[in-house]
Amino acid sequence: MAVKKFNPVTPGTRHKIAGTFADITCNVPEKSLLEPKKSSGGRNHAGKMTVRYIGGGHKQMYRVVDFKRAKDGMAATVATIEYDPNRSARIALIVYADGSKSYILAPNGLKVGQTVMSGEGVAPEVGNTLLLANIPLGTVIHAIELYPGQGAVLARSAGTYAQLLAREGKYAIIKLPSGETRMVLCTCRATVGAVSNPDHSLEQHGKAGRKRWLGRRPHNRGVTMNPVDHPMGGGEGRSSGGHPRSRKGLLAKGYKTRNPKKTTSKFIISKKSK
């Protein structure tokens, strides 16, 4: 997918860079795979605001995406490539040989009419889902499970991918998009290829109103607040506010928040690059 710039006929289009949607083949989603999506506005069950800067936004329906790809040995044909308002990547509607339909994350290069499969003995081609034990070393993958049968949790956003580096015993060694290298069980599944919409990172909203359409309200910095409201607030004139920290005093920008006693740390070979 490419991006397009706009002539500055209005202040909102002066810096706007948007996707062309040239890869979208259908504008109407599959009704049987839609679910209502309730907007919370940042409030909890008691109506109290627990998350700031959330509210408004365009009404959306949730597309039920199959992250497990557990229908093994049955070929499915790609019917459409669609836009999903709930994620940065594109989704693909696939129709199985028995007539059932499901949405999957669309890999980069997936075309309408192409056939995808999952399970044992499947060729390691773009869009196919295999066990990590059956994927050739060096292959670019996405939508990776952390636990067998859990469903994909890693490398799901637009343009991201991981790489299968090696296998040691029952574990596969994977380099993640963050630069972290970790071990994952070979019985976990992954999909071959990189995620679609790689130009998503080049987009620019161009105006604040487009953020409001996405359900994000204006955000004010801690240094602009008073000392009673934020640890970085107060001071005469424009003050830097000291060491960056959250509203509750937790250090930010470099402070490690991961629990050093976390049991899964033994599976991480090298930390993510900054």
- Tell me the per-residue pLDDT of 103-158, one tens digit each, with 9 for 90 and over: 999 999 999 999 999 999 899 999 999 999 999 999 999 999 999 999 999 999 99
Give domain limits for the chain: 3-201
Minimum mean pLDDT among 48-52, 74-78, 87-91, 256-260: which range?
256-260
Query: Has residue 174 got a pLDDT over 80?
Result: yes
Residue-level pLDDT at 192? 98
Neighbouring C-beta atoms of residue 2, cutoff 10 Å:
10
Share of the chain above pLDDT 90, in %: 91
- CA distances for 155 relative to 32, 145, 201, angstroms: 26, 10, 15
DSSP string, 178-243: TS-EEEEETTSEEEES-BS-GGGGG-B--SHHHHHHTTB-----GGGS-TTT-TT---SSS---SS
Confidence of residue 241 (pLDDT cuts 50, 70, 90): confident
Residue-level pLDDT at 2? 86
The CATH class given to the 3-201 domain equals mainly beta
Question: Whole-number mean pLDDT of the chain?
Answer: 94
Query: Has residue 274 got a pLDDT over 80?
Result: no
Q: What is the dihedral of CA 41, 157, 69, 268, to 10 degrees?
A: -110
Residue-level pLDDT at 216? 96
Q: What does the pLDDT average to over 244-267? A: 90
Residue-level pLDDT at 273? 67
Query: Has residue 31 got a pLDDT over 90?
Result: yes
Q: Whole-prediction pTM value?
A: 0.91
